[in-house]
Amino acid sequence: MTDELNYLEHLARESVRFSDAIRLAAPDAPVPTCPGWQTDDLLWHLGEVQWFWGSIISEDLRTVQQIEDLPDPERPTDHTGLLRFFDRWSPHLAESAAAADPSEPRWMWVPDESLHTVGYIRRRQAHEALIHRIDAELTAGTDRAPIDTELAADGVDEVLRVMYGGHPAWGTFTVGEHTARFRATDTEQEWVVSVGRFTGMPPWGGEPVNDHRFQCAADSTGPVGVTISGKATDLDLWLWRRPTSEEVETEGDSAALAAVHAVVDRGVS
């Protein structure tokens, strides 16, 4: 995690930009980057997400049982009600996150227990607000507001290590034959990942998991099968399957690139 980044500031800014954009979209407009969603679905999603994590921080929730006991909010029945819900709970998340010490433990779904903190919730929610702000702008057909380069570079790091690279203890990650380097040309940062498969049976039941996932390497200087290059903002958007401002370039083995796509095209569940 990049300690120098002010996640609280980014969370507040991106939430306001989301709010501004979503108000310009028709309530039933389709969300191009979230198939099957309309404006009100996107508005509810981010509102509920921010309610949820604000509640976890403010109510000091640390266990699965406490999360299960948290009552679900009722979705408002109209656009005005959805806006009111967002306007109430988005500031609550920001205020709760600011009031708590970033080192305080809180429940978090990621496998890495070092991220079960208020600080990581700040980070995760700053990126959540950024990506859905992009969705809202696309839905409303407005111009894209600038994306902070440092936040985007941190987003690349998070999506590679956590969103596509988390391996819960109840499953097994098996490294495959393909590797890839992601290179941010404007920040001169690089990440090398191995592509493999995560398999296992979720403890909550359901179908067995058999997904392509990444594993970040400690050393980014070794040989790789494919290199994917672009500005940090474009890499972040590409990894989240959102439209980029400039083309992301790829160089290397087509099979390695296909393995990368097997992870990215599945999306974040």
Encode pLDDT of 66-91 as tens digits: 999 999 999 999 999 999 999 999 99
Do residues 216 and 165 touch, judged by C-beta distance below 8 A? yes
Q: Where do we find the tokens 């507040």?
A: 12
Give the strands of the sheet with 209-216, arranged side by side. Answer: 209-216, 189-200, 171-184, 226-230, 249-252
> Could you give the CA distance from residue 102 to residue 109 in angstroms, rounded to a whole number?
17
For each of the domains in the chain, give its residue range(s) and CATH number, in order of start: 7-145 (1.20.120), 151-264 (3.30.1050)
Q: What is the pLDDT of residue 2?
A: 44
Measured CA distances, 149 to 9, 155, 187, 230, 264 (Å): 14, 10, 8, 12, 21
From 30, 29, 67, 72, select the one nearest 47 (Cα to Cα).
72
Non-local CB neighbours of 240 within 8 Å, separated by 6+ positions: 131, 155, 159, 268
Residue 140: HSE in the Cβ half-sphere, 13 Å Cα cutoff: 22
pLDDT score recorded for residue 269 = 63
CB distance 184 to 205 below 8 Å = no
Beta strand pairing call for 189-200 and 249-252? unpaired
Mapping DSSP to helix (H, G, I), strand (E, B) and coil, where does residue 113 land? Answer: helix
The two beta strands, 171-184 and 226-230, are: parallel
Q: 75-99 burial string, b = 16+ CB within 10 Å, else e?
A: ebeebeebbebbeebbebbbebbee
* Closest among 143, 130, 136, 133 to 37, alpha carbons compared: 136
**Which residues of the chain, if any, have pLDDT below 70?**
1-3, 269
Per-residue pLDDT tens for 212-244? 999 999 888 889 999 999 999 999 999 999 999
CA 251 to chain centre: 26
Predicted pLDDT at 3 = 52
